[in-house]
A = this chain, B = another copy of it.
């Protein structure tokens, strides 16, 4: 048996841990061979692969990123994409594929499996934790830890200068990172994409915090929007003198508004890519390793068209199609639960 492995979409701490676990178990327990396709779906499309054996995965468990590289290439958007993939898999004598990725990468796997008979098993990956089929995805815990550490650091600056600090974290469509890091970091306001915020209410929380002689930290997901959000987006995009389009993030915009309305100094910190790089947390290494161990078992069992997922403390298999069907957003009651700590 020869198995191909690929990683697609944005990088995420834990990808290498999945690859290592797949190869270690596949080689030692089942005597399989492995081929690592480079840069997501671009790899099998262009026939770019590298041999994966046990020495090749040595030492990669604690390393962020992916040794296989990644891309957002979608073979369904490429001329003759599916046929080229089938040809390359045949040429490489690859019997099955393990695709590690998010909605897009797994969506391709689901179609290739269902419509074209390519034998795929999926491993879910999204730093945003927004796949409905699994309790958690790896990378998320690392991102939350990094954001929480940053919030910890910012508290002392906010207090020393009696300033508002606005921390913009990842989360375009789902507010999980903001919710978890905001709760863990003791933020005074948490704003998420699922719930359009009211600027007056935000300023009320900020002001009440100062009244108790403390300085507030506002955590805002990059996709959070005010109630009059369309206006914002229209205006915040601007072209600079060198022709670069500059998009004012919600964090910077929000700090400006808070300053204008409350008269308190406000500063923004955009955590950005730091959240998604570097060594995975212990939880993410454990989850990614278990995902890898179970993914190769699914291959062994011939259980194609499935994806591994975490439910409680169990790893289960779910249909690939279901996995990507629905975005997992923060439910209203979970946001309400946190809101009692605002202000």
Contacts and interface: CB of A to CB of B under 8 A. Distances in A.
A253 interface: yes
Given A29-B340, A274-B269, A277-B154, A148 B11 contact: no
Interface string A112-146: 00000000000000000000000110000100111
Given A11-B157, A29-B340, A144-B282, A246 B248 contact: yes
A270 B267 CA distance: 13
Contact of A141 (B161, B252, B282, B311): B282
Interface stretch (A43-51, A80-88, A177-185): A177-185
A156 interface: yes
Interface string A146-163: 111110111111011110
A306 interface: no
**Copies of this polypeptide in the complex:** 4
Interface in A226-277: 234-236, 238, 240-244, 246, 248, 252-253, 256-257, 260, 267-274, 276-277
B282 A184 contact: yes
22 contacts: A11-B156, A24-B340, A25-B340, A64-B153, A69-B159, A69-B162, A70-B161, A152-B277, A152-B278, A157-B276, A181-B282, A183-B289, A184-B285, A185-B282, A235-B241, A235-B242, A238-B240, A238-B246, A242-B256, A242-B257, A244-B256, A268-B272
Given A144-B282, A183-B289, 18 more contacts: A11-B161, A58-B214, A62-B186, A69-B162, A70-B160, A70-B161, A135-B312, A144-B286, A149-B278, A153-B274, A157-B273, A180-B282, A183-B290, A235-B240, A236-B241, A242-B260, A243-B260, A270-B270
